[in-house]
Structure 1
Amino acid sequence: MHRMGISVYPEHSTEEKDYDYMKLAAKYGFTRIFTCLLSVNESKEIMIKKFTKFMQRAHELGFIVAVDTNPEVFSRLGATPYNLKPFADMKVDIIRLDGHFGEVEDIAITHNQFGIQIEFNGSCNTALDLMIDRGANIHNMVVCHNFYPQKYTGLGWNKFMEFTNKYKALGLPVAAFVSSNNENTFGPWPVYNGLPTCEMHRGMPIDLQVRHLLATKKIDDIIIGNAYANGDELKAISQVDKTKITFKLNLSDNATEEEKNIIYNYPHFGRGDASDFMVRSSITRGDYKDKRIPYHKYNEKYFHRGDVVIVNDNLSYYRGELEIVTRDMPNDGERNFVAKIPDQELILLDLLKPEHLFGFY
């Protein structure tokens, strides 16, 4: 089950603003919070008091909370890998280790008596496989990628997938960050260019960032790295279909009601006997065997990658089949052009595998 999350940075805001944001996110079904202790410059006593209250409010709204830490934070709180009581007293759900202690200590912390989950950095080549071989408690281990405040420093897509595949192969849940495009957002550090994990997502519509991560079928939890996302962004994420790849469409003015019905009101699966030229969804053919889909003229000589077409009466045996073009192919009059996937959304087409469910909105 996918969980959506927000980030909250109490040291850079007010309790009232944070709580209002948490309530709004809870309204839209968000259930995770990421917060950072690395940037907090307060005494142990004030930090514990402040974050205990924060945890209580978060839990009342149904959130689980992860706190970003390193050995210095542990030292300030009087905690060690063998004693997590200060975190337990604050009711922390997940401790994210931005820095490591050592092989023995990193294994020991996964066996803490409080059942606090330990979250390891997924954006580096951490030897979690060796830790597990040497007795780390895999049931208490999760993984979360970094976010990157500085432009052009976010993970490249191939490196992101390399790390993600490594940790998923171990059976570990993996989380990653997307970034709000709202004005005046902030994070733990004084840099204000968004907080995505992947550089290609910086500035992209937030629902597309989410749909792209979901399309990998490897990311479990998705967290908005910067605060505060606006209500429209939270709503857009809440409306993403998390069960399948979904594409936005630019619908053709010539698309008929029957063609719209085929596009929007049927489940679509790419056929297993996949072509290089198209993704074929044949499930609609049975219903349109004895119906008509008249040819309508389309002036382009070729269909292009991302065009959505439906087989018409000129090839009646396949009438009603919906196809997404993946490589330029001639327009021979046997298919009606009904819609186009916007260029920005074509990254999703790269991840659509044969026989996998997809849809449009």
Structure 2
Amino acid sequence: MRKLGVSIYPEKATLEENLAYLNLAHSYGFSRVFTCLLSVQGDKEKIIGEFKEIINEANKLGMEVIADVSPNVFGQLGISYKDLSFFKELNAYGIRLDLGFSGIEESIMTFNPYGLKIEINMSNGTRYLENIMSYKPNVENLIGCHNFYPHRYSGLSYDHFIKCSKQFKDFGIRTAAFVSSRNASFGPWPVNEGLCTLEQHRKLPITAQAKHLFATNLVDDVIVANCFASEEELKALGALNRNIITFDVELVDNIPPIERKIVLEEFHFNRGDVSEYMIRSTQSRVKYKGQEFIPFNCPDIKRGDLLIDTSLYGHYAGELQVALKDMKNSGKTNVVGRINKEELFLLDFIEPWQKFGFTESIKEL
């Protein structure tokens, strides 16, 4: 099951603000929490006091908290990789190793008696995971998560992201990556120019970022990296279908009820005998056979347009299509809407027999 998560930085907000954010996220179906122990100061008791109340609240809500750490943090807190009781005392679900050790340590950590998950960095593109796997870890306790990048232009390239993610998926390791809220004002570091894994996501609506990550089929969990995402953003993410691409669309003002129903309520999948010009969802023409589809809006066609053939096209009447290229309109096809421009790139992820859907846009998130 694919999951959604949020991030909490205890030292950057009040306890009340953090607890309220956790409860709000939980109400919209979020079940993961990322938090950061990279810049800890003080003794163990102080650290436990700052984090435990937040983690306990998350646990009450059934949310899984993973704390980001590094070998330096282990040294500062006097923790050994052979004894993870400190993190058990925090009641954490697991720990994320920002830098990691040599491989054998990570392998040993996956056999901790508390069942803590050991999450490793996915973004470096080295043979780090292969090295850990050579030491025969307990794979059930090994998961992966990409980095996030607060500096503009410093995020991962798409090709590198795919390469790194496939390394983990090839071993069947659960994966995660980060998206950035436009509403948020802080993360763990002073720089605040968005906080995403993929650089191409930095200016996109948060829903488009999440849809893209899920569409790659290489990311299991999507986590909002910066704080605080707005309630509108959390609600929209919580409403996403995490298993199929659901495009945000704007429908034309004069769309008839039947055409609206076809777009928004029918089950869509691309035909197997694919066209380079359009995605074709043909079941609606079967269901509505005999229904008259009158031409009402037949301009020339642009990539991303939603099309429904009229009765002038005979047995094609009622078929829904999505334009992949600009085309001349014969006058027999209605343009009934359009995919939002920020999501046009997601059309490239619709393969033969791929399922997909549409949601009518209300406002940009």
TM-score where L is the length of structure 2:
0.94
SS at 1:329's partner residue?
Answer: coil
Deviation at 1:297, TM superposition (A): 4.6
> What letter corresponds to residue 134 of structure 2 in structure 1?
D
SS at 2:286's partner residue?
Answer: coil
Deviation at 1:349, TM superposition (A): 0.7
Match of 2:276 in 1: 276
Cα offsets for 1:263-307 (capped at 9, x unmatched)? 11210000111111110000111122211111235243xx22111
Percentage of matched positions with identical amino acids: 41
Match of 2:98 in 1: 98
> What letter corresponds to residue 253 of structure 1 in structure 2?
D
Match of 2:189 in 1: 189
Change (3 A) 1:319 1:75: same
> What letter corresponds to residue 283 of structure 2 in structure 1?
I
Match of 1:159 in 2: 160
SS at 2:352's partner residue?
Answer: coil
Deviation at 1:208, TM superposition (A): 1.6
Q: Distance between the aligned counterparts of 1:234 and 1:224, measured in 2? A: 9
Paired residues of 1:309 and 1:338 also in contact (CA < 8 A): yes
> What letter corresponds to residue 340 of structure 1 in structure 2?
R
Structure 1 stretches of 4+ moved >3 Å: none
Q: Distance between the aligned counterparts of 1:58 and 1:288, measured in 2? A: 48
Paired residues of 1:122 and 1:143 also in contact (CA < 8 A): yes
Deviation at 1:311, TM superposition (A): 1.2
Q: Distance between the aligned counterparts of 1:263 and 1:168, measured in 2? A: 34
Q: Distance between the aligned counterparts of 1:274 and 1:87, measured in 2? A: 52
Q: Distance between the aligned counterparts of 2:80 and 2:47, measured in 1? A: 17
Q: Distance between the aligned counterparts of 2:186 and 2:288, measured in 1? A: 53
Q: 2:338 aligns with which of 337, 340, 349?
A: 340
Q: Distance between the aligned counterparts of 1:273 and 1:82, measured in 2? A: 56
Q: Distance between the aligned counterparts of 1:96 and 1:44, measured in 2? A: 18
Q: Distance between the aligned counterparts of 2:34 and 2:214, measured in 1? A: 19
Match of 2:349 in 1: 351
Match of 2:174 in 1: 173
> What letter corresponds to residue 145 of structure 1 in structure 2?
H
Aligned length: 358
Deviation at 1:180, TM superposition (A): 0.9
Deviation at 1:57, TM superposition (A): 1.8
Q: Distance between the aligned counterparts of 1:297 and 1:191, measured in 2? A: 48
Match of 1:266 in 2: 266
Deviation at 1:338, TM superposition (A): 0.9
Deviation at 1:76, TM superposition (A): 2.0
Q: How does 1:236-275 map to 2 (within 5 A)?
A: 236-275=236-275
SS at 1:285's partner residue?
Answer: helix
Match of 1:119 in 2: 119
C-alpha RMSD of matched pairs (Å): 1.4
Cα offsets for 1:31-70 (capped at 9, x unmatched)? 1110000022222221123222322122112211000000
> What letter corresponds to residue 305 of structure 2 in structure 1?
D
User: Is 1:135 the counterpart of 2:136 in the alignment?
Assistant: yes
Q: Distance between the aligned counterparts of 1:55 and 1:262, measured in 2? A: 45
Paired residues of 2:298 and 2:333 also in contact (CA < 8 A): no
Q: 1:325 aligns with which of 304, 310, 323?
A: 323
Q: Distance between the aligned counterparts of 1:203 and 1:106, measured in 2? A: 36
Change (3 A) 1:297 1:56: closer
User: Is 1:287 the counterpart of 2:287 in the alignment?
Assistant: yes
Paired residues of 1:39 and 1:189 also in contact (CA < 8 A): no
Match of 2:362 in 1: none
> What letter corresponds to residue 28 of structure 2 in structure 1?
Y
Q: Distance between the aligned counterparts of 2:165 and 2:114, measured in 1? A: 28
> What letter corresponds to residue 167 of structure 1 in structure 2?
F
User: Is 1:298 the counterpart of 2:298 in the alignment?
Assistant: yes
Q: Distance between the aligned counterparts of 1:142 and 1:292, measured in 2? A: 54
Q: Distance between the aligned counterparts of 1:287 and 1:113, measured in 2? A: 57
Cα offsets for 1:12-34 (capped at 9, x unmatched)? 22111111111111111211110
Change (3 A) 1:108 1:284: same
Q: Distance between the aligned counterparts of 1:318 and 1:304, measured in 2? A: 20
Q: Distance between the aligned counterparts of 1:70 and 1:155, measured in 2? A: 21
Deviation at 1:230, TM superposition (A): 1.4
Match of 1:10 in 2: 10
Q: Distance between the aligned counterparts of 2:283 and 2:31, measured in 1? A: 36
Q: Distance between the aligned counterparts of 1:332 and 1:108, measured in 2? A: 66
Paired residues of 2:103 and 2:131 also in contact (CA < 8 A): no
Deviation at 1:353, TM superposition (A): 1.5
> What letter corresponds to residue 311 of structure 1 in structure 2?
D
> What letter corresponds to residue 285 of structure 2 in structure 1?
R
TM-score where L is the length of structure 1:
0.95
Match of 1:204 in 2: 204
Paired residues of 2:299 and 2:335 also in contact (CA < 8 A): no
SS at 2:6's partner residue?
Answer: strand
Match of 1:148 in 2: 149
Paired residues of 1:78 and 1:86 also in contact (CA < 8 A): no
SS at 2:308's partner residue?
Answer: strand
Match of 1:310 in 2: 308
> What letter corresponds to residue 114 of structure 1 in structure 2?
Y
> What letter corresponds to residue 33 of structure 1 in structure 2?
V
